[in-house]
């Protein structure tokens, strides 16, 4: 009988310790929010796509109205406009290995390499079905210098390219109404994806899917860029012609 009582006491103590442990873990759990830190008006019609250049601490964006490429400072002031004029420009990324830019032309489904002087260097047609103004919307360079593209909707697609710029993998997306901007977060090895129709920003990987999502307090998010080594994320709005500086805050 005494042995039974001792066993019950041990079980009770273990149960209490487990409850305390779980409560402690819950108290340590923190939620993250994307806070609007600042906003800057852009003198650029329908800005679409955003890329950060750590070399000179500037941003690059494109206009799907003028079809030109703009370099802007971190407060949205235009530093230069490149001579290159594309067709239905959308996404943009900065290539550190060559100090050049890559842009996508939605209506042509072309991926174009442009020098910082505005000279077209090379061009690749990406063979994907489009229709109803739903072609390539974003481009970024990820881990191991791999190129990734994103198709806007109907259906949304995440596309990985081979070294020769042929399609290696194509994954259909289903977590947002559309997919309007993308960048690679090298520090956390995750993609940031924004959706203008869902008005959300997502952290996403091919293997785990969406790991975090944040609601946006503004419309028509068309490009996203993360600033390495900081908690700051910049998002550009097409319809608002605004550059939004956001930060991740833990609660």
CA 69 to chain centre: 19
**What pLDDT is recorded for position 129?**
80
Sheet holding 68-72, edge to edge: 47-53, 58-63, 68-72, 78-85
Residue closest to 114 by CA, chosen among 193, 60, 168, 43: 60
Same domain, 229 and 113: yes
Q: Which two tokens stand for residue 36?
A: 């609007």
Domain that holds residue 123: 33-250
Say whether the peptide bond before residue 124 is cis (omega within 30 degrees of 0): no
Q: pTM of this prediction?
A: 0.86
**What pLDDT is recorded for position 249?**
85
Same domain, 43 and 20: no
Same domain, 180 and 84: yes
Q: Is the separation of the CB atoms in 70 and 62 below 8 Å?
A: yes
Same domain, 115 and 218: yes
**What pLDDT is recorded for position 251?**
65
Number of domains in the chain: 2
Q: Map residue 79 onto helix, strand or coil.
A: strand
**What pLDDT is recorded for position 161?**
98
50: which strand partners? 61
Same domain, 12 and 95: no
Same domain, 171 and 206: yes
**What pLDDT is recorded for position 131?**
65
Same domain, 22 and 68: no
Give 249's contacts (C-beta < 8 A, 6+ positions apart). 32, 33, 34, 35, 231
Q: What is the pLDDT along the chain (251 residues), one digit of tens a residue?
A: 444 444 455 444 434 344 334 444 443 445 678 999 999 999 999 999 999 999 999 999 999 999 999 999 999 999 999 999 999 999 999 999 999 999 999 989 999 999 999 999 999 999 988 766 678 999 999 999 999 999 999 999 999 999 999 999 999 999 999 999 999 999 999 999 999 999 999 999 999 999 999 999 999 999 999 999 999 999 999 999 999 999 988 76
Q: Map residue 17 onto helix, strand or coil.
A: helix
Give 141's contacts (C-beta < 8 A, 6+ positions apart). 93, 95, 102, 147, 148, 184
**What pLDDT is recorded for position 107?**
87
Same domain, 240 and 124: yes
């Amino acid at each position: 009988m005494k042995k039974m009582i001792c066993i019950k006491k041990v079980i009770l103590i273990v149960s209490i310790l487990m409850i305390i442990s779980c409560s402690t873990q819950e108290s340590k759990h923190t939620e993250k929010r994307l806070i609007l830190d600042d906003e800057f008006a852009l003198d650029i019609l329908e800005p679409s796509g955003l890329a950060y250049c750590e070399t000179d601490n500037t941003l690059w964006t494109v206009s799907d109205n003028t079809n030109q490429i703009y370099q802007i400072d971190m407060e949205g002031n235009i530093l230069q406009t490149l001579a290159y004029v594309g067709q239905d420009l959308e996404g943009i990324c900065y290539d550190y290995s060559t100090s050049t830019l890559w842009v996508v032309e939605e209506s042509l489904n072309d991926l174009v390499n442009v020098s910082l002087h505005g000279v077209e260097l090379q061009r690749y047609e990406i063979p994907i079905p489009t229709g109803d103004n739903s072609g390539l919307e974003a481009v970024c360079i990820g881990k191991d210098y791999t190129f990734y593209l994103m198709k806007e909707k109907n259906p949304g697609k995440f596309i990985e390219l081979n070294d020769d710029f042929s399609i290696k993998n194509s994954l259909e997306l289903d977590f947002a109404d559309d997919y309007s901007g993308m960048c690679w977060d090298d520090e956390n090895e995750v993609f940031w994806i924004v959706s203008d129709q869902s008005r959300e920003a997502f952290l996403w990987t091919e293997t785990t899917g969406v790991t975090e999502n944040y609601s946006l307090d503004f419309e028509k998010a068309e490009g996203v860029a993360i600033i390495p080594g900081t908690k700051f994320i910049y998002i550009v709005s097409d319809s608002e012609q605004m550059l939004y500086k956001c930060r991740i805050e833990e609660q």
